[in-house]
Amino acid sequence: MFIRAIRGFNLGLIAAAFLLLVACQTDGPAAPTSPAVTLLLTRPLSEPSVSLTATQPTPTPVYTPILLADDVPPPRPQTITPSPTPSPTRTAFPTRLPTATLTPLAVNGVPLEQFIILPPAAIARSQEIFAQGQSRGRNPNAFSKLGDSTVLNPQLLGLFDNPNRYTLGQFSYLQPTITHFAGSFARYGVAARHGLHSWSVFDPLWANKEWCETGEHLLACEIRLNNPTLIIIRLGSNDAGVPAGFAKNVRDVVEYCQAVGVIPLLATKADRFEGDNSNNEIIRQIAADYAVPLWDFDRVADTLPNRGLAEDQVHLATVTYHDYTVPETFTSGHSMQDLTGLMVLDAIRQLIMAPSP
């Protein structure tokens, strides 16, 4: 009997602990806090490089990265052999090698046109949205971010607002784009929330009550507060099991942005939270259907150890400094995400916001 009593007492303790754990969970949005920054890459890896040779397509329009006057070629081009080889995309975004310069045509072996998806239809449609936004007074020097904790500062592009946190090296031609959008990279914003789902975007309960008006959803609130010309949309890391619902929700976001004169930049993700890659495939299809820009980071994540992910297999392992002159940087998910994202913004700035005559 004494043993049975002890066993009963232990079972009671376990049940009480379980109830306490359930009671501590919440269904609503958590107050945003900046994630801890951890340093990736503590051992030397094989030397990467950036491919500088490729077959040169010649369709129009052509995106030519603008180099600063004092740029000099790096003493030693850097390349990385991709593993596995990324799948080809349905659209092409041609680039060419500027005369007498060394401008990368690939990152980690992935050609630019496989992660900067800007076919002619997307360029034309985005130019229309940009013109509409300018008629509404949108700020051409501002962009916003819509997504969950994977887009919060410093997870997404945040280091580029601090010149002491990056060295561009051979990518210094991207500096004008950093200058152009200064202030947007590290901006926290109200459209980035921990645990955000695609279906939560238009739910006013997820809007920050300190900054947003009664009944206002977080996307409308962010656009009102920041008045951006473009918004980076990364959703799907908290959406699993309802692909049809996820597709409808993302389509609603794209349509809303178009209607208010804000260019929607859809972005794929590195994680496989939904168990496969269906959410990224949905995002690719929506970008093609609506002829809007796509930043297909998933293609570059294929080349990274563990897809660049931290132990939780959702967030990227973050670094405190982007140094694009050292080989290890090209194995970092955080650094490769930010580099490719900056390259997409650079292309949009030149082809859509300030196209050549």
- CATH no. for residue 302? 3.40.50.1110
- 96 has pLDDT over 90: no
- Determine the Cα angle at 95 with ends 116 and 232, to 5°: 20
The kind and range of the H/E element at 228 are: strand 228-234
Residue 69 lies in a domain: no
| pLDDT tens digits, 204-258 | 999 999 999 999 999 999 999 999 999 999 999 999 889 999 999 999 999 999 9
Q: Kindly state whether residue 215 falls inside one of the protein's structural domains.
A: yes
Residue 202 banded pLDDT, cuts 50, 70, 90: very high
Q: At residue 73, does pLDDT exceed 80?
A: no
- Whether 9 has a pLDDT exceeding 80, the answer reads no
| Closest of 33, 21, 22 to residue 195, by C-alpha | 33
Is omega for the bond preceding 176 within 30 degrees of 0, making it cis? no
* Nearest CA among 295, 224, 243 for reference residue 264: 295
pTM across the whole model: 0.73
Are the CB atoms for 91 and 36 separated by under 8 Å? no
pLDDT confidence of residue 152? 85
Q: Is the dihedral of CA 238, 282, 348, 345 positive or negative?
A: positive
- Going by pLDDT thresholds of 50, 70 and 90, the confidence category of residue 154 is confident
Q: How many whole angstroms separate alpha carbon 240 and alpha carbon 51?
A: 36
What is d(CA 259, CA 128) in angstroms, rounded to the nearest whole number? 11
Cβ(335)–Cβ(342) below 8 Å: no
In this structure, are residues 272 and 82 in contact, taking their beta carbons and an 8 Å threshold? no
In this predicted model, what pLDDT tens digit does every residue of 309-335 receive, in sequence order? 999 999 999 999 999 999 999 999 999
Least confidently predicted of 66-80, 174-188, 220-234: 66-80
Residue 67 within a domain: no
Q: What percent of the chain clears pLDDT 70, i.e. is strictly above it?
A: 70
- Does residue 282 lie in a domain region? yes
Print the domain residue range for 246: 106-353
Check if the beta carbon of residue 272 is closer than 8 Å to that of residue 308: no
DSSP designation for 283: H
Using CA of residue 53, residue 55, residue 56, residue 57, what is the dihedral sign?
Answer: negative
In a domain, 260, yes or no: yes
Return all residues near 313 (Cβ < 8 A) that are at least 6 apart. Answer: 271, 272, 273
For residue 176, what pLDDT is reported? 97
Q: How far apart are CA 170 and CA 90, in angstroms?
A: 29
How many structural domains does the chain have? Answer: 1
pLDDT tens-digit map of 112-140: 999 999 999 999 999 999 999 999 999 99
Tokens of 346: 């650079």
Compute the mean pLDDT over every residue in the chain, rounded to the nearest whole number: 79
What is the per-residue pLDDT for 63?
A: 55
* Within-domain flag for 91: no
Sequence letter at residue 348? I
Task: Tell me the C-alpha distance between 132 and 53, whole Å.
Answer: 39
Q: Please check whether residue 223 is in contact with residue 144, taking contact to mean a CB–CB distance below 8 angstroms.
A: yes
In a domain, 79, yes or no: no
Give the phi and the psi of residue 95 in degrees, each rounded to 5.
-135, 160
Half-sphere exposure of 300 (CA within 13 A, CB side): 32
Contact call for residues 280 and 240 (beta carbons, < 8 A)? no
Residue closest to 269 by CA, chosen among 249, 248, 283, 290: 283
Q: Any idea which residue has 């297909």 for tokens?
A: 296
Residue 276 located in a structural domain: yes
Higher pLDDT, 355 or 34: 355
**Percent of the chain predicted with pLDDT > 90:** 66
Average pLDDT (176-187) is 97
The partner residues of 192 in beta bridges, in order of sequence, read: 147
